[in-house]
Structure 1
């Protein structure tokens, strides 16, 4: 989910597209102002492995799930966070494939244990490191594939998008957490970015640096709005000033981000 305008789809839903040495993606047929082209479901598989790992099975769409299930024997399903465009199909996909589903939040696991920060998973011949990245949501995680090419790759969920910037789902997600998560990802270096929405990007560190700069610019805009409107300005008033051109369909998302930024300015701990 993002806080910038969507553009027409660049990929074809239902097709399997190579995205790196160890990954492929299938675009779900759920484009919209909050999902860009749609949700990218990823298939992880080392060369020669008969099994696969699926990340973010996405919305409950039978044709989409059939493509994922047909990619190989599904040994494991991983979920980056609880939002429905990533997790709605999890239980049904587990029934279709018999694979356990693991997420940071136990409520979204199916026959699998919750993910733990810095855990290493070995499945389908792929080494997967779990990175806790709260901010967009409290249960957001990213998956680092250190052996995916010379620089590795990171499946970033909604923490870093292929286009635009992510929203903060305050109060579940906070700006303090999000800034820390971006710094954690930046420290990985120039890995390939495999986002849940939008195109693949090079150089995770550069993408995170751009996001950090964007957040500081937004905070400056919030400060300027408060200077004009007064310290007691409401979330709606600040949103009108800072996100004046935001589409009505994503107004709620803009207000959530403003609320997160106001909370941060009052107490950045």
Structure 2
């Protein structure tokens, strides 16, 4: 489910002495030491609370002596929680915080201005390949669709394609295009769930709907498929969350 693993990002402006680290990732001593060697680290940022992003974060923040910030106060150390729309100035950079709930309630993206224009660190809101899960009941489809629409509008307002820096998979060249693809995929899945409910009955369980809609899904991601179906059922039943 993490594709090639979790991407940790080290950010700094050209010539800046300090760095920002986004999503230190698993509690892997070698990985954390490598991140620390890119320092001094001025700030640690978390895109959301899943273990593959935060399991090593507290140890890393302590190792480098830097504050850690996230939307969820539980994953903050030495600083306040992230606030939607705020601008973080660190490591010679300006990062805008975008609270983008959906994958999880605390998911955040970061818009960073680089020498060649803006880019967006998307956490698990957008992946480098495939699509993300809606981690019901923490995540919800209604907010996720709203978050994709917000990211799409941001991308369309830019002068050039905005790169996507995801937490899993490769960098993508065009945020607007990938938002369009994600929104189309979600619409297609919703139609499939509607069709399954028409066949099975409106009270069908998530497990039964998953059997129909995700019939070809590998068993290793069955749990994720069921979580997404639960989110889709809640959305269709008017529980936008």
User: What TM-score do the two structures reach when normalised by structure 2?
Assistant: 0.96
For the residues of structure 2 that align with 1:57 and 1:94, how far apart are their CA atoms? 9
Match of 2:158 in 1: none
Query: Runs of at least 4 residues of structure 1 off by over 3 A?
Result: none
1:208-227: CA deviations, max 9, x gaps? Answer: 11100000000000011111
Q: Answer whether contact 1:151 1:192 (CA < 8 A) is retained.
A: no
Residue 252 of structure 1 pairs with residue 223 of structure 2: yes
For the residues of structure 1 that align with 2:164 and 2:91, how far apart are their CA atoms? 20
Correspondences of 1:12-27 after superposition (within 5 Å): none
Q: SS state of the match for residue 154, structure 2?
A: coil
For the residues of structure 2 that align with 1:219 and 1:121, how far apart are their CA atoms? 37
Gaps of 5+ in 1: 1-33
Counterpart selection for 1:62 from 15, 20, 29: 29
Residue 94 of structure 1 pairs with residue 61 of structure 2: yes
Alpha-carbon offset, residue 139 of structure 1: 0.1
Match of 1:170 in 2: 136
Correspondences of 1:174-189 after superposition (within 5 Å): 174-189=140-155
Alpha-carbon offset, residue 110 of structure 1: 1.3
Q: SS state of the match for residue 8, structure 2?
A: strand
For the residues of structure 2 that align with 1:151 and 1:237, how far apart are their CA atoms? 46
Structure number having the greater helix percentage: 2
The CA RMSD measured in Å over matched residues stands at: 0.9
Q: SS state of the match for residue 178, structure 1?
A: helix
Counterpart selection for 2:86 from 119, 144, 150: 119
Alpha-carbon offset, residue 268 of structure 1: 5.9
| Range that drifts further, 82-91 or 241-250 | 241-250
**Number of positions where the alignment pairs a residue of Structure 1 with one of Structure 2:** 235
Match of 2:125 in 1: 159
For the residues of structure 2 that align with 1:229 and 1:103, how far apart are their CA atoms? 41
Gaps of 5+ in 2: 156-160
